[in-house]
A = this chain, B = another copy of it.
Amino acid sequence: MALIVQKYGGTSVGDVERIKNVARRCIAAQKAGHEVVVVVSAMSGETNRLLKLVSQITDRPSEREQDVVAATGEQVTIGLVSLAIQAQKRKAVSFMGHQVAITTDSAFSKARIKSIDAEKIRAALKKKHIVVVAGFQGVDEDGNVTTLGRGGSDTTAVALAAALKADACEIYTDVDGVYTTDPNVAPAARKLDRISYEEMLELASVGAKVLQIRSVEFAMKYKVPLWVKSSFTDDPGTLVCEEDPSMEDVVVSGIAYDKNEAKIAIRSVPDVPGVAAKIFGALDEKNIIVDLIVQNVSKDGRTDLTFTVGKADLVKAKDVVRKIAKAIKIKAEDVEMDEQISKVSIVGVGMRNHSGVAAKMFKVLAGAGINVQMISTSEIKVSCVIHANYTELAVRELHTAFGLDKPVSEGVAESVPLKG
């Protein structure tokens, strides 16, 4: 008998029929002899409806009160899922975050889980209940309701799996697994049977939003075997797990892209100590996250500094940069912004033991006539910033070049789209 934590996202509980379907799946797992804990999100559209109400009241909401409103979405779902399980003649009990002491810090709207008291859940499991827990929400040490940020239910599920020492954590979603890349962009994309935590982290952080990045970090830290599965099929899905030697045979596991960044270039920056610190310090003060940074070698005591930020932060970032540019006497025309960019990344633990991977990537892109504007590498990832128009072309060319295309005989039946 195994202990399994299942998590169903908003689409999987999007209406009454789907909720009944989730109940059937939980019961099937219990009938197969497992203890079952289910984590659910708000019904799809519900969190947006609630946040819209908030925005109609005020455009600068206190995050404590916003969390009080937003947390109701998951509360509705746990009640309905429990009722659906009971209607199918099995025992079920629902718990909100505070009822099982999913204790977080007090960073409302993006709280982090600090501890979970698994006792109440264990007691309910012992009584043969399917335990239904609200995702996304927790409680701080003063008893205030907190939420974990978008996609936070994934993290709730993994944290519960870790606290309960569960045998597996299954994330049910509207795709049937993790793909080598977005099948909407590259029809030859293949579903992966397995992927390492590290690769998944890199893929998640570069735009493949099938799992919340924090949930993968959590799973890696506590070694929770994490399955990504579809709630609408019986496909085994993708297992996200610890790296094993066989994984290194594959050089590139997946290709991701991100169109949500913008590039800021500052030309002719005086190449003296402290200038970069000034610029990035000021951006940090405004909570603007900088992704890639490239600084060219100096020429005549001046250098070019280029970096990317999220498109949503571009207006704020412009203000900061223009102010500093003025202070260090850089001409306005030497500050350039570009929103027409995208970041394409190849990811694979096999890169550690294979040389020439980056060089091959540049060659493939050059072969397709695509200019590389910025480059960033990590141990298991190479990212290139290119013009946004060439995103899809780059993804397809790289997918083929690194041997990820599925065999032609497999057909197109399984090309369920990957969100991202």
Contact = CB atoms under 8 A, between A and B. Distances in A.
Interface string A52-96: 011011101110111111011001101110111011000011101
Given A50-B76, A57-B20, A83 B66 contact: yes
Contact of A75 (B16, B57, B72, B82): B72
A76 to B, nearest CB: 5
Contacts of A78: 68
Contacts of A87: 57-58, 60
B82 A62 contact: yes
A53 B76 contact: yes
Interface in A7-35: 16, 19-20
Chain A interface SS verdict (over half) = helix
B53 A66 contact: no
Nearest to A16: B56
Contact of A98 (B16, B80, B84, B98): B98
A56 to B, nearest CB: 4
A99 B58 contact: no
Contacts of A16: 53, 56-57
Nearest to A70: B79
A143 interface: yes
A23 to B, nearest CB: 9
A86 B62 contact: yes
This chain: copies in complex:
2
Contact of A71 (B60, B75, B98): B75
Nearest to A132: B65
- How many A residues touch the partner, as a band? 35 or more
Nearest to A71: B75
B53 A65 contact: no
Given A72-B72, A143-B99, A65 B94 contact: yes
Contacts of A61: 83, 86
Interface string A179-192: 00000000000000
Interface string A112-156: 000000000000000000000000000000011100000000000
A68 B126 CA distance: 22
A83 B98 contact: no
Given A68-B75, A76-B53, A76-B72, A83 B99 contact: no
A384 B391 CA distance: 81
Contacts of A143: 99
Contacts of A83: 54, 57-58, 61-62, 65-66, 69
Nearest to A80: B57
Contacts of A58: 83-84, 86-87
27 contacts: A16-B53, A50-B76, A53-B76, A54-B83, A57-B83, A57-B84, A57-B87, A58-B83, A58-B84, A60-B87, A61-B86, A62-B82, A64-B93, A65-B79, A65-B83, A65-B86, A65-B94, A66-B79, A66-B83, A68-B75, A68-B94, A69-B80, A71-B75, A72-B72, A72-B76, A98-B98, A99-B143
Given A68-B96, A96-B145, 10 more contacts: A19-B57, A53-B76, A61-B83, A61-B86, A62-B86, A65-B82, A65-B92, A66-B79, A72-B72, A72-B76
